[in-house]
Structure 1
Amino acid sequence: MRTELTIEDLAPGGEGVGHAGARTVFVPWTAPGDRAVVDVQAGDGTAHGSLVSLRAPGPVRVPAPCVHFGPGEVPGVSARGQARPDDAAPEGAGGPGGPASRPPPYDAGCGGCEWLHVDYAAQLAAKERTVREALRRIARVDPGAYDARPIVGSPAPLRYRARAKFHHDRASGRLVYFRRRSHAPVRLRECHLLDERLDALREAVGPALGRAGLAPREVALEWSGHEGRGAAWLLLPAITPAVRARAEALLCEVPALAGAVLQPEGGAPVLVGSPVLRHARVPGDAASGVQRSRPDVFQQANRGANALLVRAALDLLAPDGLDVLELHCGAGNFTGPLAARARWVAAVEVQGPALELARADLAGAGNVRFFAGDALKLALAFAREGGPSARRFGAALLDPPREGAKGIGPALRELGLPRTVYVSCDPATFARDVRACVETGFRLEAVQPVDMFPQTHHVEAVALLVPA
């Protein structure tokens, strides 16, 4: 069923949203204010539509710089997602005499970003609403009940990623993303989310894998601007001496690639070369110190925004002179800055390479002790310690993975903490856990959204919880 509608807002999942009568319709590649013709499945209730043509652009639509962005040949939208009059010919198309010379046939429909056609201020406003609405609907906390701080934007809305994951397309010999909601490859020629040097590394590594005789299913690349070198993670069926020799040949062919982590399916990783990189904790500030990273270990991709995230979390926590419990410390993203301000830090992470990197970074810090294990279980164990040697904390900071920290409310209550800061990358699990904390005797004092991923719907949130 074909219908015309006005896009009213950006949805938390990244699509534009409008109404066809009483039906809510989500439409990718659209922006608020767009007047669009959309194909919608017949029926009742919420629907996902596909963009047929753009009648008129909305006020926050901007030209997208990437040749891969957008749905392809849609009337009213250029190959780069830019609005044009509905009756204008597609780029490169001829008039009545037939097609003229066309631009190169770039793959469209890339699923790597969603909002490259939306003004950045409008993106930030939508992300603020996402966090606020998740807390209202899921946590049942009204916006006026806490200090809702303005979102912190990324220092760079484009070219901000220092790491990314790709698929290896053997047919084209390129590193690719998939098309939106598809496994069809987008054979990348550019990615405007990647640091230029990481983009150049991506362009070099794809063909070099084929020449080295390697066929990984997935590839992650990371670039250190501090060191001027990169590293790779390759997911392979198995690691044999021959595969390892091919990986060493890959490093020789791509001099910017300092090392690789070879990951066999279901096995332990094998390191080739020097895949451990060092990043400045604050880009451009040597005094901020450095942090070790490896392409198979979680690390924030946006180094500039990460420095702002760390600052926002520590400003809310106010750890100066306190004994601090850090749960889900990972590779030590917050641990080093915490140690610089706190009296003592107990940092908890499951055993693995992330914990090894954090320990290596902070081996000389006399006020940090690492504990390997499950965060919730260790938090409860600390809470139940007795006697003169029992650890008591003045504050806690937790940065769990996307699935959140289910069950953390009772643990925080047993710890009797005056202040807790919760850092989250998923508004839904964040709101769920905030609700659990509120139900066990805490009050949501303040929330600080931070934009780590411009041009996408993803948003980080930092919350301060205090006893009610």
Structure 2
Amino acid sequence: MSRLHVDPSQYLAQLAEKKTRLVELLAPFAAPEPQVFESPRAFYRLRAEFRLWREQEQRFYAMFEAGDKHTPILLEDFPIASQRINELMPRLKAGWEASQALSFKLFQVEFLTTLDGDALISLCYHRPLDDVWQAAARQLASALEVSLIGRSRGQRLVIGKDHVVERLQVAGRTFSYRQPEGAFTQPNGEVNQKMLNWAYEALGERQDDLLELYCGNGNFTLPLATRVRKVLATEISKSSVNAALANLADNDVDNVTLVRLSAEELTEALNDVRPFRRLQGIDLKSYDFGSVFVDPPRAGMDPDTCELTRRFERILYISCNPETLAANIAQLHDTHQVTRCALFDQFPYTHHMESGVLLERRKG
């Protein structure tokens, strides 16, 4: 059985290369030495997706190298995934092998887990799902102590919950997060927890208000809301907005107003370019914004949104792409200085990295 090429003995050398790359990208801006937050060497990834590959009348978990969809890497386990996923993989396989209703035209399996073992499994099919499937799925979900979702064209059948509940510790407080199937969540729970604590400390205790762009399911919103008077948060994805609203309610966070707008749309609203019905009843002028928090997609902030952030005394920026981070800092460097910097190793054994910077307005 094939294995993915992961060598924990090379971890620190690979992490050092990432640090060097980040330092070089931020050198033109006189950024301080980055804090480096390591990942666990194994069992760190809380979600995983596998195609199923048929060989000799059996189905195996399979992954593929980038650009090659014809040569499967067949897996019995997946050491970079959480221990819960590794514990479930053989038991799920035994479950579908024992049931024609579960195995027939099953082509993909997705796992979503949490640090304390909550688990949701999605089974994807090239056929309609019927009552026989639902009966078998209920039995399997009970045996595995998971929630199950069956997916086929036009169907989504939920056995149990359609989300997991993650619990993360930030500054001595536990925050709970509903993480729905199919919505974006941070894949590395231990490093995510380190990111949240870093952002909490970097923002500091404030007496003014926070603007948050790209808030997702409220991952950063919950702890950062405890550091400011009130928060205006924006997110464009409906599923993420619904998850964020549930997370705010579950954690009794009542000083956040969440608006379903893109960062570009909010920029237009704050610049009085045009009104938005989704902002009705919200007095933007009542906010005393001192800080802005951004966690944009890989493309970074567009130039207009980047220009908007220039208005704020503090810009707290989490980035999944150091190149676009550097480009955005270049646009802001004449008015803001990088005063904190961090590297979060969300994706060990790859070239990808998550980074964070605090930019503060230059004096004088």
What residue number does 1:410 align with?
A: 307
Alignment of 1:231-242 (within 5 A): 231-237=120-126, 240-242=128-130
Identify the structure with the greater helix proportion.
Answer: 2
What residue number does 1:221 align with?
A: 111
What is the Cα deviation at residue 307 of structure 1? 0.8
3-state SS of 1:132 partner:
helix
What residue number does 1:203 align with?
A: 90
What is the Cα deviation at residue 233 of structure 1? 3.1
What residue number does 1:342 align with?
A: 228
Q: 1:419 aligns with which of 314, 322, 343?
A: 314
Q: Say whether 1:151 aligns with 2:36.
A: yes
Alignment of 1:21-420 (within 5 A): 106-108=1-3, 110=4, 116=7, 118-135=9-26, 141-142=28-29, 145-154=30-39, 156-171=40-55, 172-179=58-65, 181-183=67-69, 184-209=71-96, 211=99, 212-226=102-116, 228-237=117-126, 240-242=128-130, 246=133, 249-254=136-141, 255-256=143-144, 258-264=146-152, 271-282=158-169, 287-363=173-249, 364-384=252-272, 389-407=285-303, 408-413=305-310, 416-420=311-315
Between the aligned residues of both structures, percent identity stands at 25
What are the Cα deviations for residues 95-132 of structure 1, in whole angstroms up to 9, with x where unaligned?
Answer: xxxxxxxxxxx225x3xx6x525433222211101222
Aligned length: 344
What are the Cα deviations for residues 340-368 of structure 1, in whole angstroms up to 9, with x where unaligned?
Answer: 22211111111422221111111232211
Q: Is the 8 A contact 1:233 1:263 kept in 2?
A: yes
What is the Cα deviation at residue 204 of structure 1? 2.6
TM-score by length of 2: 0.83
Identify if the C-alpha distance between structure 1 residues 241 and 164 changes in structure 2 by more than 3 Å, giving closer, same or farther.
closer
What is the Cα deviation at residue 276 of structure 1? 1.5
What residue number does 1:78 align with?
A: none
Equivalent-residue separation in structure 1 for 2:26 and 2:105 (angstroms): 44
3-state SS of 1:341 partner:
coil
Identify if the C-alpha distance between structure 1 residues 165 and 437 changes in structure 2 by more than 3 Å, giving closer, same or farther.
farther
What is the Cα deviation at residue 179 of structure 1? 3.7
Q: Is the 8 A contact 2:210 2:293 kept in 1?
A: yes
Any stretches of 5+ residues in structure 1 without a counterpart? Answer: 1-105
Q: What amino acid sits opposite 1:175 in the alignment? A: Y
In our comparison, the structure showing a higher alpha carbon Rg is: 1
Q: 1:431 aligns with which of 311, 322, 326?
A: 326
Q: Is the 8 A contact 2:42 2:80 kept in 1?
A: yes
Q: Which has the higher contact order (CA 8 A, sep 6+)?
A: 2
Q: What amino acid sits opposite 2:194 in the alignment? A: L
What is the Cα deviation at residue 271 of structure 1? 3.5
TM-score by length of 1: 0.66
Q: CA RMSD in A?
A: 2.9
Any stretches of 5+ residues in structure 2 without a counterpart? Answer: 276-281
Equivalent-residue separation in structure 2 for 1:288 and 1:339 (angstroms): 14
Equivalent-residue separation in structure 1 for 2:328 and 2:91 (angstroms): 43
